Copies of this chain bind each other. A is one copy, B any other.
Amino acid sequence: MTEEREIAELQRLVREFSTERDWQQFHDPKSVILALVGEVGELAELFQWVPSDEAVARFADPARHGRVAEEMADILVYLVCLADVLGVDLGAAARTKLADSHRRFAADEVRGVAPEKA
């Protein structure tokens, strides 16, 4: 028996939560993406007026740390919900993407240089 991995487990928990509430009917991809956008917006609002170089220290404060963890959790939950709806293996996709990035951005060529969108 293979052990369930962490992201697959989250996906199962999210699916069970939705099924128990008969909420899967609302979870077409566009709706879930809008929900994800809502959570990303809440995350952005936490940081909007914080000076860039103070942001890490500001969110070391326990109340703010809990708040940002919660918003990030919401984003992950909707991302995992979308993966479930679309049949995407999110963990595998992330590992593939990182392997691609290793090839695409050779460390010796891009060291210390942020890629710029053309």
Considering the complex, give the chain B residue whose CB is closest to the CB of A66: B93
Is chain A's binding surface mostly helix, strand, loop or mixed? Answer: helix
A33 to B34, CA, bound (A): 8
Contact B55 A72 (CB under 8 A): no
Contact A31 B14 (CB under 8 A): no
Count of interface residues, chain A, beta-carbon cutoff 8 Å: 80
Contact B29 A34 (CB under 8 A): no
Q: Could you mark each residue 25-46 of chain A with 1 if its beta carbon is under 8 Å from any beta carbon of chain B, else 0?
A: 1101111011111111111111
Binding site for B on A (CB under 8 A): 5-7, 10, 13-14, 17, 20-23, 25-26, 28-31, 33-53, 55-56, 59-60, 65, 68-70, 72-77, 79-80, 82-83, 85-91, 93-98, 101-102, 105, 107, 110-112, 114-117
